[in-house]
Chain A
């Protein structure tokens, strides 16, 4: 099992450019999540999905869109990147809701810089 993988690992964008981050998991997990990590702020939830074809807003959804067309993939899109979106992005997945008997498994992260 590869677990949770993220593509790309690094990216530099100019303000206004768009991009898509891909998250893939091979554990047959129902739930998937996108977080951003900023110094001194821990991880903040951007969007999440409770199953194929579903998405929901998290704590900091503005400026991002997501899609879950296939159970194993969760895409995070930035339509018009801004310097405030410079961050490290983590994808995670779990069998069921975050917590409970189910543990979230994290990908290695994508480091995004917006100039």
Chain B
């Protein structure tokens, strides 16, 4: 069975500071990993994904994520956060060969001006 954990319910940072949102996963084999963002009263928007290859994945809006197989982690990062990055962030995993994505519970990011 596959699962995702986002250990922090909330992350608060000041604008201009680095932002990190943590994610760890559990799968039997090799994973596909995703980050989505949800703004208030909106659907989920795709940010980035790890399929294979380079462990550092770059995505939309200046976000990037690093796949660490030994630590089974896929943390989302942004070097300099903006107030507009305030949203709910979801990590998701799919085990290769499975149809379904499993989502974490989400992390609310608040960036203060």
A interface residues (Cβ-Cβ under 8 A, vs B): 4, 31, 40-45, 48, 50, 56, 58-59, 90, 92, 97-101, 103-109
The one of B96, B99, B100, B106 in contact with A42, judged by C-beta atoms closer than 8 angstroms, is B106
Work out how many contacts link A and B, with CB atoms closer than 8 A: 63
Given contacts A41-B105, A43-B90, whether A98 and B43 have CB atoms under 8 Å apart is no
Answer yes or no: B45 CB below 8 A from chain A CBs. Answer: yes
A sample of 17 inter-chain contacts (CB < 8 A) reads: A40-B105, A40-B106, A42-B103, A42-B105, A43-B103, A44-B103, A45-B101, A97-B98, A98-B100, A99-B32, A99-B101, A103-B46, A104-B101, A105-B46, A106-B45, A109-B41, A109-B43
Answer yes or no: B44 CB below 8 A from chain A CBs. Answer: yes
On chain A, the residues within 8 Å of B98 by CB distance are 97-99
CA distance A31 to B105 in the complex (A): 23
| Contact, CB under 8 Å: B99 / A48 | yes
The one of A50, A103, A106, A108 in contact with B49, judged by C-beta atoms closer than 8 angstroms, is A103
